[in-house]
Amino acid sequence: MFRFRFCTEMIRTKVPKTALNRFISSFNQSRSLQTLSFATVEAEAVSGSQPAEVQNLVQGTWKGSSNLNTVVDPLNGEPFIKVAEVDETGVQPFVESLSKCSKSGLHNPFRSPERYLLYGDISTKAAHMLSQPEVSNFFTRLIQRVSPKSYQQAFAEVFVTQKFFENFCGDQVRFLARSFSVPGNHLGQQSHGFRWPYGPVVIVTPFNFPLEIPVLQLMGALYMGNKPLLKVDSKVSIVMDQMLRLLHQCGLPKDDVDFINSDGKTMNKLLLEAKPRMTLFTGSSRVAEKLAVDLKGRVKLEDAGFDWKILGPDVQEVDYIAWVCDQDAYACSGQKCSAQSIVFVHENWASTSLISKMKALAERRRLEDLTVGPVLTVTTEAMLEHMNNLLKISGSKLLFGGEALENHSIPNIYGAIKPTAVYIPLEEILKENNFELVTKEIFGPFQVVTEYKQDELPKVLDALERMHAHLTAAVVSNDLLFLQEVIGRSVNGTTYAGMRARTTGAPQNHWFGPAGDPRGAGIGTPEAIRLVWSCHREVIYDVGPVPKHWEIPPST
């Protein structure tokens, strides 16, 4: 029965056919659910009566802790995961582990180059394991348990991770360290540019993508020769606990990666004591700015995004545009750093049914299939208070939503509201006393909608210029001159342009990350890995020969 439900769910949610075919093949081969050799939990069985446990990994050994943080099920409030958290008195083993790694890393082009091949092999094995339906379903369901989202949204995270591993099989890891040479001034002189690791590094990642973000950044760090310490939000760290065990089975040396569970205060103490050569932080802008100061700028940041979408003057494909707007704003209950926060709608769309279609799509979302669900960082009261503050702005109005979810058992420490949209006039948004409030990121199913006239594009571009976070954006138009104007006057690092443009989506085939900030971090591609996890080193060979009859010249 379980397999039947899983199969029909994959069909209903339009999971890629290759993944579905693999599952059906596995189903035909075996009628019993096999225990996964790497796993220490069963995603379906985790509950108050059978709580899962999350450990720490340091210097090659999994360790527990007397300091247990109990995580509650976000759907019913039942304590169901015990996380062994390290307190401030327990950071020393992690500090010592990082200190054992030199600045030249675990490998580099001149040291242990065979490790580039090792990580190509690890990637091959990990890609194969994640392609197995029972493994991909295990991680999909585990993600759903701790960061509730629809099956397809959770499966997409596993699918992207598997494809990322496929991209770095075989020789692809060593190709990341490709160097170049330039002829010198005389015989025997050549300059060579190399990609060099930082050595001891730290990765801090959030709750909303508990597999994809930490795996892609972790593997990028390892590929380039670094020794990473990984810290994932404790609410979801069970996912990476299990993923690391899978990677160990695929050949990852156990002492190459440390894994810690702790609160923010403890982690900050560890960072100050360990002094990592580089820290990658994905999360809120407030914490990112603090880390930048504490770590004296040795950071790469993929922080918050108040992400915008502009609908251009060429009206077309209203059903499709409405669907993409709904997905961008409300998939994963809006808990994506790339979620659509504001949409600027050209006046030509006013006569269409766009808003009514967006409303209808938003209203079909249900807690039962997790197309809307708990918001893990913003309470219901906080989201509704923000909405009410926006509705005090002159000319604003509630387009749809604006109410708490009903008939649920989501604990009140989390948020639960219906997908919501508030209309605010463009002129009011641009007012100094309104702009900061309107552009406040609400990490939940919430967006702002506004309209602009044909001659008001400069005002829209002014609004984009005044925003502080420049992660993702969408320019929905096939008008090339319009596209040129908007793209040329904006800066967001991942920008979709064209009739099918969106704000969300971080597949393995393109860069995902902010722009406009020298600390900006990318994810997913070879360019992102090189930028974040390596630096440039120049080696100039000058071996001679010294010219015959050379004499010591006068002093200069």
CA distance 209 to 143: 8
**Packing angle between helix 2-12 and helix 151-167, nearest 10 degrees?**
80
What's this model's pTM, rounded to 2 decimal places? 0.93
The CATH number assigned to the domain with range 92-303+526-535 reads: 3.40.605.10
Whether 190 and 181 have beta carbons less than 8 Å apart is answered as yes
Task: List % helix, strand, coil for the chain (3-state, nearest 5).
Answer: 40, 20, 40
For residue range 253-293, what is the model confidence (pLDDT) as tens digits?
999 999 999 999 999 999 999 999 999 999 888 899 999 99
Residue 501 three-state SS: coil
Q: Give me the mean pLDDT over the 432-459 stretch.
A: 97
User: Which residues are known catalytic residues?
Assistant: 302, 337
Sign of CA dihedral 508, 513, 518, 519: negative
Query: Given pLDDT bands bounded at 50, 70 and 90, which one contains residue 18?
Result: low
For residue range 212-222, what is the model confidence (pLDDT) as tens digits?
999 999 999 99
Higher pLDDT, 151 or 34: 151
Residue 382 three-state SS: helix
Query: Given pLDDT bands bounded at 50, 70 and 90, which one contains residue 7?
Result: very low
Residue 28: per-residue pLDDT: 43
State how far the alpha carbon of 541 is from the alpha carbons of 110, 111, 192, 330, 444, in Å: 14, 17, 8, 56, 55
What CATH topology corresponds to 307-497?
A: Aldehyde Dehydrogenase; Chain A, domain 2 (3.40.309)
Give the residue ranges of DSSP H helices in 250-398. Answer: 264-274, 285-294, 318-330, 354-363, 380-391
- What are the boundaries of each domain within the chain? 92-303+526-535, 307-497
